[in-house]
Structure 1
């Protein structure tokens, strides 16, 4: 079977918060769909005002305008709001600099990768670099003696530092070039200084520092090595992850302290420790089994205690309650607007979003833990490769299959059984079930609350990825060898899990090609991989349902991604092997034979998967459904497919697609041997 390799974890804790793919492209369409276009020109003019109060007002107004409004964000981008705000980072007035950083932060979070790339290309790192030592100095003064620190120290330590840290976190996910540039700044001591002072600072800023460090230590050796090698850093992270410190209310700011923020911080520190593990002695963290002693006990309660349907319902109630204050009133120059002025409903909506993002992060970390598949095979040495390349394409590469067994990857020992799965699988199955706010309406309209929709859909996708890793990890050949179900409960678990995944996919719907429906499409593409893993584990137990088979066939036919086609074929192959489902077997096998009949129209990997599937389905001539093979004349169809498959395999580049070439040679050899075997049976 085609195996799911360890997928490099997407690091963005807050992917595009307000998706705008449902909107038509171009500034004209953005102008037509924005209700605030008249406010943009005055804001841009006041950005250049000689009056610092007006410049500050303009920076704050940008944050107000873009909130949950991608159309207006696009219009502001067209007016070079990014370049203008970066210029304001060098403003002579400190308050203008702080507000400009806040607007840039919000643009990063709401706009995603494109805006971050624009910021990097417009050299935002130059002013940001100068802020790090300034914030560090004021932080030191503030921690030593808050009374002698500068008057604005608290604002700089909390709000401004939070903005700068968040911008750097977002930029680090933009490109390797941006990440490498940020690596050179030396951020680790700066970020750890916030985490190390957890008992004296606000949780919001500390959490931002942890989020940035989590991103920077993920698959980024310069930063992860720096954290790993410092025993004080890892001990600090371990203490926070374990919850060793009591929740406290720094500086009387009790309103900032919440279980949500504490939980988010613990989850982040757990993720950082996993990113930098294994941790060497003499750190106290070196003695901890990160996965089993820290991650599972910390994260399972996080994903088990949330009800997405209840959150969705509460968000809808808050939207209905929210006062419809005219936007221009918020922008009145009478009393400069405050960037943190939010209604109770807005504050609760943010809290709910923060809670969902914590759940998303927890699932992302568990996805990494669940990726227990072996690493890809090591490179073949040059001399062996050269010897392979010298072989005759037509004849003696038939003999290469004889060496296949020597190249089988070592597989991990099975350390889980179906009966052990419910602890993690059950909460994940709950997290994949869509709510009314999980996706934008299929008619192309925007979500009633885009941040909630973005968070919910991200959780569904992360949970599916985690399930995908769990089931495909358990479905490796070594794991399956000699597998038997220890109890009736184990046998019954498969159909229940199968039904739960199908229930989620049915709720998502098949209308995935419209504007803004990319997340629905992602759910199906990952979901069919989950189905394949379940089908392998409970092969012969799952009954092929006509409607489900038809959906898989249609998805396989319509999918443009060969990997999705392979997953569909692999799932159908397993369903076809339910002993009593002869009609279901016939439906599936006829589709697979039709793929082999049109090799020029089917991509290479799905074609090989179809041939391999038919061999596996009919490898036992005593199976009840073997009658379908005989009555359908499949021996003749497979005989006719031998030469086209040989031709396809010869066309696979031996150097560029080594794994696929090896897989093709294996299928080709198996097909030839299978045809000879079935002929010899004379059935």
Structure 2
């Protein structure tokens, strides 16, 4: 899938141990720099001393003393994660990235094919510098990845580190090499050479897995950053994919390419040469997860990389790389560890299970990327068959089923209160410690988040077939469709939208991912038809921007058509099914994909009912005096009056992202189902989903309407007090950094709200199709306030009015939903007229309107919005026998207004460039022909009636 980057997804930036403080007193014995210059005096002002200490660290990176270089790079690796934003920007302004890349590139390239490892201090410095770059890539703004690329980070990575890692991986998995002894008689030089070589081997063995994780994570960040960097990585696809697969091989004890026996061969007696089997270790799971993440990021929406995972053309053997991934996918538990003691194995069992679950989800994601498309290769067909099995589905669906967000949040709050924030960093691996328990909760939440993203793409991929699209399984227990008592919907009230399940504004304070640069730049060539199918996918870019696409290729459209066709075939084949769409018994259908429980489980995960849902960064502090900006609140906690330990911020972010991703998966599920002409769902399920989705949209819009930018709020209260030189001094002292950080956090809150509005409207649109279309025998109840809400609040909202693909998506979905709501059975004449007039207002009345009118709330601003308005209007009044046709359409004079709009519509369609957007232009020409024919048809009816 087109890579999701919501805070680098499941990256867990582990802070390197800081061996040297940045600030603080300096011992008298260390009163000199390495070059002999004096250190800053103790009486120096704080800002000047901080700058001098930063410069000292950068100077030490170039020191002739290897230990000093290693210490400086290790210190910087920790500092980039802990420095305040203003100080970090100051450090970056001193060419920190460039100097770290110099240290990464300092390893000699000739060692890639040599049997001896690089010199100890050079390797240690390179590993720690890679760690600093990795931590920057994980935690700092995404534009730093572009800076790393521009400063040629790929050169040392691909020319030095990838070959060295690949060369020494078999050595690392084998037994430790024997100590080298100088030949006798030993000279001082020979002894030093032996000591250096032993030290190099020791450093390599101790640091190899950290080296591998740093390299893989940095490649992972680069791969999912933007298409320019991805194109550069594609030139090294063989090395990148080969290394990732090698680590995955080593994680499951398969035989490596060097021919050495895997540890799984132990116990089978002696080898062919009579020697005892070689005892081998295994790649740690955390490194294997980093390799799988890198592979997933690299192959997602990147066909040039797919060939590296497939067998060569003309080969009759199954791809070894795919075999490894399928082995991981099909193994419920991790291979037993042969090296851990019983006590350590017991304490690490839970962590191993969590990492293995994440590894299986990633294996599913990589295989899904290979399975998509129209390829008929034997390898690809085998992967498709495996992904369609119930066992493969359960890798994702079991995580969704077992998710208990409220319980996780309560446990997280409890253990966070036990963490001693004043304690020094520790490398303790005690699984019962508060930090370890909190890390476990974060890891579980991040795995669920990843599973939801891949599930969302899977539902839109066309890989599931008709056997998986059968209705199956009822939710156990439950009188209110599987949700908790506090999540039920009182169906007797219909305050608006046919739903009383409208959530309070406090329940829906929505947050964000960063701005997508492509949205700022307008609609790209590949994005003009982005709302053709309503599916949410994620584009590779600087942010986790959810993008609605009609498919970037014919393959996407074909996949969706296939998926819709299978839904049709299910409905056609099941003649005995009750027309209300009540679910069959799960045992009879043997399917788990579209069981009634799945939509309701996704719905439950999308509701922000936990104390940590949708909170800004300012809500997490260890100080009771910190005040929230008042932008966020939930049903469980008011951020303006409560603060949480800073340790909970990562868990809160994961929980929040789970809510959004669950709603996006639900969007893809219902939009895909709605494309099947006869696909049906349980009426209770549809009603529950419809009402809750409307509630989430309303909560997000209400919260967004109260949003006040921090800069505006601050200027209103303090603007008069900061003028001239004093204001500049205050900004230089750090006020501007704090304000910028608050603005970024507030923007994130708004972006999250926009994500929820867009996905929620997709769910609403799909529900109206499935629940109102007479061919599906739907029984969706739509209340009288739904239409005013969609017309007066959703369509003209700032999110919808934004000239971005996301804004366009919201408007298209609102129009599509209104088109179905307006023609449901029993719709009132007034409501139908309101919808008809609104749709008519979106059509340009004349050629002049196309040129002069720029108000997106009154006239369709993009081709997709215009075409959806035409389609919805024609469908609304296609049946002249409907009760509302005469009083609304004929007597209301709509035909005359529609006839006048033809000229403007034709002018708007002619502005679509055929050479750039041939498919969109062809679809627009077809809509224009339909419009002209419809006008003529209604004119003919009037003549007959007369």
What TM-score do you get using the length of structure 2 for normalisation?
0.59
**Preserved contact between residue 158 and residue 205 of structure 1 (Cα < 8 Å):** yes
Query: Would you say 1:589 and 2:832 are equivalent positions?
Result: no
Are 2:696 and 2:756, in contact at CA under 8 Å, matched by a contact in 1?
no
Q: Residue 10 in 1 paired to residue 3 in 2?
A: yes
The Cα shift of 1:261 comes to 0.3
Cα displacement (A) at 1:570: 0.8
Residue 564 of structure 1 is matched in structure 2 by 810
Corresponding position: 1:104 with 2:130: no
Q: 2:452: which partner in 1?
A: 363
Give the deviation of 1:678 after TM superposition: 3.1
| Distance of aligned partners of 1:96 and 1:544 in 2 relative to their CA distance in 1, 3 Å threshold | same
The aligned residue for residue 515 of structure 1 is 747
Out of 612, 618, 621, the residue aligned to residue 437 of structure 1 is 612
CA contact (8 A) 2:361 2:396 kept: yes
Deviation, structure 1 residue 297: 2.5
- Provide Cα deviations, 1:468-498, integer angstroms capped at 9, x if missing partner: 332222223xx21xx275xxx7233321221
- Distance (Å, rounded) in 2 between the aligned partners of 1:662 and 1:539: 29
Shift of 1:530: 2.3
**Contact kept? 2:330, 2:392, Cα under 8 Å:** no
User: What is the deviation of 1:244?
Assistant: 6.6
* 1:170 matched to 2:199: no
Structure 2: 5+ residue stretches without partners: 12-45, 107-120, 180-200, 254-281, 312-317, 464-556, 572-580, 584-593, 617-628, 633-638, 708-745, 774-778
Aligned partner of 1:542 in structure 2 is 780
Q: For residues 441-460 of structure 1, what are the structure 2 equivalents within 5 Å?
A: 441=616, 443=630, 449-460=648-659
1:275 is the counterpart of 2:369: yes
Distance 2:816 2:381 in 1: 46
1:536 Cα offset (Å): 1.5
1:615 equivalenced with 2:874 (yes/no): yes
Quick one: distance in 2 between partners of 1:616 and 1:283?
A: 40
In structure 1, what is the equivalent of residue 663 of structure 2?
A: 464
Residue pair 1:47, 1:54 contacting (<8 A) in 2 also? no
1:578 aligned residue: 824
CA distance in 1, matches of 2:381, 2:819: 49
Quick one: distance in 2 between partners of 1:40 and 1:318?
37
- Secondary structure of the 1:197 match is helix
Asked whether the equivalents of residues 76 and 132 of structure 2 are also in contact (C-alpha less than 8 Å), the reply is yes
Cα distance, 1:66 vs structure 2: 4.1
Deviations 1:603-636 (A, max 9, x none): 1432332233222112223323333334533233
Bigger Cα displacement from structure 2, 148-157 vs 260-269: 148-157
In the TM superposition, 1:226-241 aligns within 5 A as 226-229=308-311, 231-241=319-329
**Structure 1 match to 2:167:** 137
Partner of 2:124: 95
Q: CA deviation at 1:592?
A: 2.1
- Relative to structure 1, is the Cα distance of residues 283 and 218 closer, same or farther in structure 2, using a 3 angstrom cutoff? closer
In 2, the alpha carbon distance for the partners of 1:107 and 1:87 equals: 16
2:73 counterpart of 1:59: yes
In structure 2, what is the equivalent of residue 85 of structure 1?
A: 100
2 CA distance for matches of 1:510 and 1:659? 37
> Cα offset for 1:319?
4.3
Tell me the secondary structure at the aligned position of residue 578 of structure 1. coil
CA distance in 2, matches of 1:342, 1:438: 26
- Measured in 2, the distance between the counterparts of 1:525 and 1:587 equals 23
Mark the CA change 1:352 to 1:548 in structure 2 (over 3 Å): closer, same or farther.
farther
Q: Return closer, same or farther for 1:373/1:191 CA change in 2, 3 Å cut-off.
A: closer
1:45 and 2:56 matched: yes
Change (3 A) 1:606 1:492: same
- Distance across 1 between alignment mates of 2:385 and 2:903: 56
Specify which of 197, 200, 206 is matched with residue 155 of structure 1: 206
Q: CA offset at residue 45 of structure 1?
A: 1.7
Structure 1 residues without counterparts, runs of 5 or longer: 1-7, 19-34, 331-336, 375-407
Equivalent residues of 2:289, 2:358 under 8 A apart: yes
Deviation per CA, 1:403-457, whole angstroms, max 9, x where unpaired?
xxxxx98943233566445253232222322244343447469996543344334
Q: 1:177 to 1:423 in 2, by over 3 A?
A: same
- Distance in 2 between residues matched to 1:116 and 1:86, nearest whole Å: 12
Residues 1:515 and 1:259: Cα distance change in structure 2 (over 3 Å): same
Q: Residues 213-252 of structure 1 correspond to what in structure 2 (within 5 A)?
A: 213-229=295-311, 231-243=319-331, 246-249=334-337, 251-252=339-340
Superposition pairs of residues 119-518 of structure 1, within 5 angstroms: 119-129=148-158, 130-146=160-176, 148=178, 150-185=201-236, 186-198=239-251, 199=253, 200-229=282-311, 231-243=319-331, 246-249=334-337, 251-252=339-340, 254=345, 257-277=351-371, 288-325=385-422, 344-372=433-461, 411-412=561-562, 413-415=565-567, 419=583, 420-434=594-608, 435-441=610-616, 443=630, 449-476=648-675, 479-480=676-677, 483=678, 485=680, 490-512=682-704, 514-516=746-748, 517-518=750-751
Taking a change above 3 Å as real, the CA distance of residues 347 and 68 of structure 1, as seen in their structure-2 partners, is farther
Distance 1:438 1:75 in 2: 33
Query: What is aligned with 2:729?
Result: none
In 1, are the aligned partners of 2:844 and 2:904 still within 8 Å (CA)?
A: no
Q: Is the 8 A contact 2:54 2:91 kept in 1?
A: no
Query: In structure 1, what is the equivalent of residue 509 of structure 2?
Result: none
Distance 1:98 1:556, change over 3 A: same
Looking at secondary structure, tell me which structure has more helix per residue.
Answer: 1
What number of residue pairs does the alignment pair up?
613
Instruction: Say which SS state the counterpart of residue 389 (structure 2) adopts.
Output: helix
Change (3 A) 1:214 1:97: same
Moved more, 94-103 or 241-250: 241-250
Q: What is the CA distance between 1:365 and its match in structure 2?
A: 2.2
SS in 1 for 2:842: helix
8 A contact 1:16–1:454 mirrored in 2? no
Tell me by how many angstroms 1:265 deviates. 0.9
Distance 1:422 1:668 in 2: 40
Deviations 1:325-363 (A, max 9, x none): 28xx77xxxxxx879999944433333332222222222
- C-alpha distance 246-352 of structure 1, shift in aligned 2 (>3 A): closer
Q: Which has the higher mean CA deviation after the structures are superposed, 658-667 or 119-128?
A: 658-667
> Which residue of the partner structure matches residue 764 of structure 2?
531
User: Secondary structure at 1:641's aligned position in 2?
Assistant: helix
More deviation, 298-307/86-95: 86-95
CA distance in 2, matches of 1:69, 1:341: 28
- What corresponds to 1:386 in structure 2? none
Matches of 1:614 and 1:123 in 2, distance apart?
Answer: 54
**What is the RMSD computed on CA atoms of the aligned residues?**
3.7
Provide the rounded CA distance (Å) in 2 between the counterparts of 1:667 and 1:305: 46
Q: Judging changes above 3 Å, is the alpha-carbon distance between structure 1 residues 549 and 605 closer, same or farther for their aligned structure 2 residues?
A: same
Distance, in Å, in 2 between the alignment partners of 1:356 and 1:36 is 40
Match of 2:545 in 1: none
Q: Verify: 1:676 aligned to 2:914, yes or no.
A: no
Deviates more, 1:209-218 or 1:627-636: 627-636
Which of 785, 790, 804 pairs up with 1:552? Answer: 790
